[in-house]
């Protein structure tokens, strides 16, 4: 007699929430972080260079971000980093969040999306 391994339809479906964390979804969440001086999100401004998702502890995924500022002495820098960390930490299945501010390569307006350029009137 063979064992029936087919689902019966009565088992609860369990989806690992960490499987839903992707670079695209992290970047989408980071669009909630708005530069307080330019009123444009940090993704469209081109401030996010790297989003790396790695296995963490307790079945969660750790998120490492490398971002830059529009200038080395950007007064909004600490606020942008804190807000970025907050929106990523709110994502289901995220463990540790590490945000590293880098200045190389330096930010230039060419890193902005077309939407950001339109919003700021830069052509």
Mean pLDDT, each 10-residue run in order, the chain (123 residues):
49 51 96 96 98 94 97 94 98 96 95 94 81
1 in a domain, yes or no? no
Residues 23 and 21: their CA atoms lie apart, in Å, by 7
Q: Is residue 72 part of a domain?
A: yes
Q: Is residue 33 assigned to a domain?
A: yes
CATH number at residue 34: 3.30.300.130
Beta-ladder partners of 5: none
Whole-structure pTM value: 0.82
- Closest by CA position to 54, among listed 95, 4, 83, 110: 95
Which residues span the domain enclosing 39?
22-120
Question: Do the domain assignments include residue 2?
Answer: no
- Domain assignment present for residue 61? The answer is yes
10 in a structural domain: no
Q: Count H helices and E strands in the chain, helices first.
A: 3, 3
* pLDDT score for 12: 43
Do the domain assignments include residue 41?
Answer: yes
pLDDT at 20 (0 to 100)? 78
Domain count, the chain: 1
Q: What is the 3-state secondary structure (H, E, C) of 7-58?
A: CCCCCCCCCCHHHHCCHHHHHHHHCCCECCCCCCECCCCCCEEEEEEEECCC
Residues in Cβ contact with 38 at an 8 Å cutoff, skipping those fewer than 6 apart: 45, 70, 120
Question: From CA 112, how far away is CA 43, in angstroms rounded?
Answer: 8
């Amino acid at each position: 007699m063979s064992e029936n391994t087919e689902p019966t339809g009565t088992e609860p479906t369990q989806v690992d929430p960490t499987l839903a964390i992707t670079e695209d979804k992290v970047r989408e969440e980071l669009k909630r972080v708005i530069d307080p001086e330019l009123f444009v999100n940090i993704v469209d401004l081109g401030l996010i260079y790297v989003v790396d998702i790695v296995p963490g502890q307790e079945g969660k995924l750790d998120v490492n971000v490398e971002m830059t500022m529009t200038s080395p002495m950007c007064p909004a820098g600490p606020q942008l980093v804190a807000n970025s960390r907050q929106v990523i930490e709110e994502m289901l299945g995220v463990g540790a969040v590490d945000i590293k501010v880098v200045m190389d390569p330096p930010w230039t307006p060419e890193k902005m999306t077309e939407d950001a350029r339109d919003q700021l009137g830069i052509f």
